[in-house]
A = this chain, B = another copy of it.
Amino acid sequence: MLDAPGTPHKINAQPMPAKKTSVKKAPATASSSSPIQRILETLHRELKSNSSGEVATYIPELGKADPNWFGICLVTADGRIYQTGDCDQPFTIQSISKPFIYGAALEDKGKDKVLQKVWMEPSGEAFNAISLRPGSGKPENPMINAGAITSTSLVEGSTTPQKFRRILKTLSDHAGRKLDLDKEVYQSESSTGHRNRGIGYMLRNFDILEEEPKPSLEAYFMQCAVSVTCRDLGIMAATLANGGVNPLTGVTAVARDHVENILSVMGSCGMYDAAGEWIYNVGMPAKSGVAGGILAVLPGQFGIGVFSPRLDACGNSVRGTEVCREISRRFALHMFNVPRLSASVVRRVGGLSHTRSSRLRSAREMEALRQSGDSIRVVELQGDLNFGSAELAVRQFTDAAPHVREILLDFSHVTAMDASAAAILAMAFATWVDAGRRVSICRCEGFSHFPEAIRQEMPRHWQSVVFHPDMARALEAAENALLADMKLRRHSSQAVKLGDCELLAGVDAKGLATLRRILKPVEFSDGDIIMRAGDPPGGMFFILRGKASAWILTESAHERRVATFSPGMNFGEMALLDHSPRSAEVRADGPIEALEFGLDAFHGLEKEDPGLQIILLRNLSRILAKRLREANLEVGILLS
């Protein structure tokens, strides 16, 4: 926070899309007074009575499930868990493993290789259909068995144990705990897996599997027999909602780039031959398994796990489907039901004639800023910046009148900025700077990918975009640039006479002579601390030459500049009035010549020349009242 005004922040290439907040890490499991928890409990109660559908029996072990088991678990993208019912009952993951192993194949072999082996079209057929594409023999998509076996063949390892170790790692990373195999179900899968073996050899025939199918087939049977709970499914779904990072452990289970692909195949092919109906009625990418699990993802928001073993004719859990449909319906969560949220990204637009720095200016400068302040456009952005909302923001550049020389963008209220928004803003800056106009940016330290985007877009001129840590300095720099344009800026190295001081307006020659006698000349060097917050009371200072700034510590223990003092101005007067400790730190910005009005001298004046004392106090009250009025206006603007 202590960079000189105008110094660009260090550019940091680490991507970090959203600002950190003051929200503390939530305890993992929610109390029952939460509305979300109550919604889940209500749904559980309402749907428990639905006993339609049949438990899968195509392998004997699955038939042993209690048809009444019913668990619902919703996990937010930042890791808060809401759960009700049988959320800790183990069951086998079955086909819900398919999207995760597809993700592992993408990580291990890369997207190009994977797409050569398995396509991404919904087949319109049942999960166990062979559905190979004419000509290539490529499975239609990774959610049918043929495609899933292909994914398994693509994960790292050439033996069954090697492949299964990789599979168990990716599933465990998503779940945030070490998962394990249900050996009995695996034996049952393996001993009845004739159809899948047939598919495997068919894939080998078309050279989709490049090796002997057996290691992949056995690893596939094992992958389907990994034991999970409903809570695990919720957390795995939340990991996808959170861009591949498990929100409870912080572990990256799959690279963000692949999450979009995983969700795409879930979205178009995840629910067997009811994929279109699912998108229509539920509108979240999802995957079901024949043991009764369903996993659904609302990207960026949360994941859902549901477990109830009775299945419908398509092989999807009856109650699980209902839970997802009801959550989507009651809260209008369909992924295509997106309100136009971005319209309010521009919080406020104004000229410098409305928004002012804390630097106190001469009357001539004030008048100049009032007259020409609108050649600087101050734009406060707010909310989340994505492609659509950034487009609204860049209209501030493209629609600016010809007399606008500088745009100052305030990011204080921006809550997130994605890569596309950063790129579009950077492109607008490049055009603007090329036209000889200025752009400066305030409070965007939370978006470290943004300077990098600017540097990429304008490699030669990126330094002409100036970053400021607070609006006070940003506005002051903008004002200074404007006054310099107008050749109006008086440099603070020019000295003033005592009689020019604001506080001494109306004091006659005799009064000035009295003051010259009792004031003490003092000098400070650049960076000298003239007073510290908490220091015992002392005198007041009149600046004759040079500049000083007052700083306070904010709640968050950052330093913030609250005022800048130029020649002719005074500071430190509070102590004279009420003998209170110093409330701010004042530091010299360069060399200073000043006059100190000590405590004793000030109080002595009350006896010696009460008329002069009254003029001083009246001027002081007037100055304070004027600053108070300005501060109140600023609060009003900030709150409006």
Contacts and interface: CB of A to CB of B under 8 A. Distances in A.
A35 B421 CA distance: 11
Given A122-B275, A614-B610, A339 B261 contact: no
A8 interface: no
B23 A392 contact: yes
B23 A346 contact: yes
Contact of A267 (B279, B394, B427, B625): B279
Interface stretch (A154-162, A195-203, A326-334, A361-369): A326-334
A121 B583 contact: no
Contact of A280 (B264, B384, B472): B264
Interface stretch (A54-62, A90-98, A297-305, A315-323): A297-305
A28 interface: no
Contacts of A472: 639
Contacts of A560: 636, 639-640
What is the interface residue range for chain A against chain B?
35 or more
A343 B18 CA distance: 8
A513 B80 CA distance: 67
Contacts of A428: 34-35
Which interface residue of A21, A265, A341 has the most chain B CB atoms within 10 A?
A: A341
Interface stretch (A167-175, A483-491, A517-525, A572-580): A572-580
A606 B617 contact: no
Interface in A225-263: 241-243, 259-261, 263
Contacts of A387: 298, 301-302, 331, 333
29 contacts: A17-B341, A31-B398, A34-B428, A38-B431, A77-B343, A119-B277, A120-B277, A120-B280, A122-B122, A260-B334, A264-B283, A299-B337, A300-B339, A300-B340, A301-B338, A331-B419, A331-B424, A332-B419, A333-B387, A339-B418, A382-B382, A382-B415, A383-B416, A472-B639, A555-B637, A560-B640, A562-B632, A617-B618, A635-B638
A534 to B, nearest CB: 14
A19 interface: yes
Interface of A: 17-23, 26-27, 30-31, 33-36, 38-39, 76-78, 80, 119-125, 140-141, 241-243, 259-261, 263-265, 267-269, 273-277, 279-280, 283, 285, 298-302, 330-350, 354, 382-384, 386-388, 391-392, 394-395, 397-399, 412-413, 415-416, 418-420, 423-424, 427-428, 431, 435, 470-472, 552, 554-556, 558, 560, 562, 573-574, 577-578, 583, 606, 610-611, 613-614, 617-618, 620-622, 624-625, 627-629, 631-640
B388 A77 contact: yes
Contact of A243 (B122, B339, B629): B339
B577 A618 contact: yes
Nearest to A616: B617
Contact of A583 (B274, B336, B392, B629): B629
Given A263-B336, A283-B264, A388-B298, A21 B614 contact: no
The 3 lowest CB-CB distance pairs between A and B, nearest first, are A301-B388, A35-B427, A300-B338
Nearest to A554: B640
A22 B392 contact: no
Contact of A620 (B275, B552, B621, B638): B621
Contacts of A33: 397-398, 431, 435
Count of identical protomers in the assembly:
2
Given A276-B269, A398-B34, A577-B625, A383 B386 contact: no
A370 B117 CA distance: 68
A80 to B, nearest CB: 7
A341 B384 contact: yes
Contacts of A26: 395, 399
Contact of A283 (B30, B260, B336, B621): B260
A261 B280 contact: yes
B264 A336 contact: yes
A639 B412 contact: yes
A298 B21 CA distance: 29
A269 to B, nearest CB: 6
A47 to B, nearest CB: 19
A302 to B, nearest CB: 6
B415 A554 contact: no
B637 A336 contact: no
Given A260-B337, A635-B638, A331 B420 contact: yes
Contacts of A639: 412, 470-472, 560, 638
Contact of A300 (B39, B302, B388, B435): B388
A38 B472 CA distance: 35
A555 B637 CA distance: 8
Contact of A640 (B435, B558, B606): B558
